[in-house]
A and B are shown apart, each in its own frame.
Chain A
Amino acid sequence: MRWATFGSTRAALARGETTCEAVTTTFLRAIARKRHLNIYTYVDAEGALRTAREQDRQLATGEAPPLAGLVLAVKDVLCIRNWPVTCASRMLDGFNAVYDATAVARLRRQGAILIGRTNCDEFAMGSSNENSCYGPVLNPRNEIYAPGGSSGGSAAAVAAGLCHAALGTDTGGSIRQPAALCGVVGLKPTYGRVSRYGLVAFASSFDCIGPLTNSVEDAALILAAMAGVDERDATSAPVPVAPEPVGLTDAARCAGAALRVGVPKEFFGEGLDSTIRCSIEAILHRLRAAGAVVKDVAMPHTRYGIATYYILATAEASSNLGRYDGLRYGYRPAPDGRKRIDLHALYAQARSEGFGKEVKRRIMLGTYVLSSGYYDAYYAKAQRVRALIREDFDKAFQEVDALVTPVTPVPGIKLGSMINSPLKMYLSDIYTVTANLAGVPGLVIPIGAHASGLPIGLQLLGRPFDETHLFRLGELMMQLAKD
């Protein structure tokens, strides 16, 4: 792919070597060629080309917006005015958004060309993209494997060269894990960094919108464009957004010597694939040689992350998904004219036929942990453990600027291998959920590949609202991985 990153496309546009229309056409052709990967749930070729042509005219007169030429795909859980949004669920089949999500609106204003929507796990619940009413996405690096999830379509779109970048969402690792399994860059911003307005809610105290890209620079550009306080999301934080890092590569080199990096041993225990472990250790060795301080840190509550996360996230999901009742929008079963309708039965039928298996399982778990008699033992207990997990991070960040960890314990997920073992699937999120519990940012970068062709990812975790450190370190480590 000639223009794999937006950074290189932008430079080529500036030199007059290509046009926005040509770039968009290239991606549209690639999308048509790779249809069997089942990545896109909707493509707006006409709209994308119209925007591209308009930007070419603006470029000629010097009036183009800063991100002109950025071809962007969007996970099918974010609202885009007059486009369908289905959350890969039968429940929202035929639903058309009536407004733009704030993140989408801001990127559109900055010049993003919206090309289509990407497949994902239903309502973003899953780690393999197999819980989708459209069927699974194939991993472009090795097609017998899943791309990861839940933002599997977004990660696969970027990996397969079907867009410059894609938006995903990360509630318990849903940007970072597929980024690692598809070999792309994925950023889960700090909780509150990006407005959630227009994002179909899964677990509101965890949900984050972030970019999947082919370079750290592209991720930084997209974050800067969509971040910032929004009056339509009371949890968007009034924290200033760092300007886009100009000359990221140079800054990364300089930063290397000054950085202190922590390695939590709890993330490198039993169950971690040995190739992933060795690859990360090799990079850490080079990082030390580049002058960074690398030291062990303790994160003693890491092992309680999965239980804590799945109690709180399913509880929030059961509450958020209560809105799907088949009355005002969403799936409603066809009426049976002869029977008198019972309201409870109408709700139950709409929800049972509209939702898929994993979504119903999580609603059941969430309802259980919130139900009378069990609330204190599960929900309230998990809220307390969440505080302990956050404390682990606060303590570690007194000593170091960032943490280096694996992203997944396994090298890949073969299609069909985990779909019938929900607990096993949940346990595979062990290295990603604690960042969501603590609200800290996480950046995943590709650092190598397994013999199977599947990529190896590395996760950097940083202080709240300090994505800049992650970008510099990520850029440096991607260079070290290539050396």
Chain B
Amino acid sequence: MTVSVEQVRYIARLARLAFSPEEERELAEEMSAILGYMQTLDELDTSDVMPMTHVLDLAGVVREDVVQPSITAEEALRNAPDSCGDYFRVPKVID
């Protein structure tokens, strides 16, 4: 199992992360080792096993659509890096 530096760059882009060339080389090596170890699962024949998505056998939980007390707009904005009035403010990203 070998993960290339190009693959690291591709995955980093999907994950919205950026790395230095040195970090990319290190990650390629570490991910190769870890993903290689994960391939031990290939020893098992699971063709007739259903995938398990969750340990609990729970059905969808529904409730009445009733307004409940919740946090205020002011509280919701309290941890924003930048805000203006009732809005989150972000850098200009479109022309």
Interface positions of A (Cβ within 8 A of B) = 94-96, 98-99, 191-192, 205, 231, 234-235, 237, 301, 303-304, 306-308, 310-311, 318, 322, 325-332, 335, 341-349, 351-352, 355, 360-361, 363-365, 367-369, 371, 378, 380-388, 390, 422-423, 426, 438-439, 464
Contact in complex: A367, B88 (CB < 8 Å): no
Question: Quick one: closest A residue to B33, CB to CB?
Answer: A423
Measured in the bound complex, the distance between the Cα atoms of B64 and A45 in whole Å is 41
Given contacts A310-B38, A439-B56, contact A329 B61 (CB under 8 A): no
Contact in complex: B17, A237 (CB < 8 Å): no
| Chain A at the B interface: SS class | helix
Contact in complex: A332, B34 (CB < 8 Å): no
Cβ–Cβ < 8 Å partners of B27 in chain A? 361, 364
Contact in complex: A423, B34 (CB < 8 Å): yes
Given contacts A311-B38, A387-B50, contact A96 B56 (CB under 8 A): no
Contact in complex: B82, A332 (CB < 8 Å): yes
Question: Quick one: closest A residue to B45, CB to CB?
Answer: A384
Contact in complex: A234, B58 (CB < 8 Å): yes
Contact of B14 among A192, A367, A439 (CB under 8 A): A367
Question: Quick one: closest B residue to A237, CB to CB?
Answer: B56
Question: Quick one: closest B residue to A344, CB to CB?
Answer: B16
Contact of B37 among A94, A307, A371, A390 (CB under 8 A): A307
Question: Quick one: closest A residue to B52, CB to CB?
Answer: A387
**Beyond A191-B56, A363-B15, A368-B31: 10 further Cβ-contacts under 8 Å?**
A98-B75, A307-B37, A328-B88, A341-B92, A346-B93, A348-B18, A352-B18, A355-B17, A367-B15, A384-B50
Given contacts A231-B63, A380-B51, A390-B55, contact A351 B16 (CB under 8 A): yes
Contact in complex: A329, B79 (CB < 8 Å): yes
Question: Quick one: closest A residue to B88, CB to CB?
Answer: A328
- Encoded as 1 (CB less than 8 Å from any A CB) or 0, chain B from 78 to 95 comes to 111110000010111100
Measured in the bound complex, the distance between the Cα atoms of B41 and A368 in whole Å is 16
B1-34: which residues lie under 8 A (CB-CB) from chain A? 3, 7-8, 11-19, 27, 30-31, 33-34
Indicate whether B49 reaches chain A with its CB closer than 8 angstroms: yes
Given contacts A99-B71, A307-B41, contact A235 B56 (CB under 8 A): yes
Contact in complex: B91, A341 (CB < 8 Å): yes
Contact in complex: B44, A205 (CB < 8 Å): no
Measured in the bound complex, the distance between the Cα atoms of B61 and A367 in whole Å is 29
17 contacts across the A-B interface (CB closer than 8 A): A191-B55, A205-B54, A205-B55, A234-B58, A301-B44, A307-B39, A325-B16, A329-B79, A361-B31, A382-B38, A384-B51, A385-B44, A387-B49, A422-B30, A423-B34, A426-B34, A438-B55
Contact in complex: A383, B35 (CB < 8 Å): no
Question: Quick one: closest A residue to B8, CB to CB?
Answer: A364
Cβ–Cβ < 8 Å partners of A234 in chain B? 58, 60-61
Cβ–Cβ < 8 Å partners of B52 in chain A? 383-384, 386-387, 390
Cβ–Cβ < 8 Å partners of B13 in chain A? 344
Q: Report A476 CB to chain B, min CB distance, Å.
A: 28
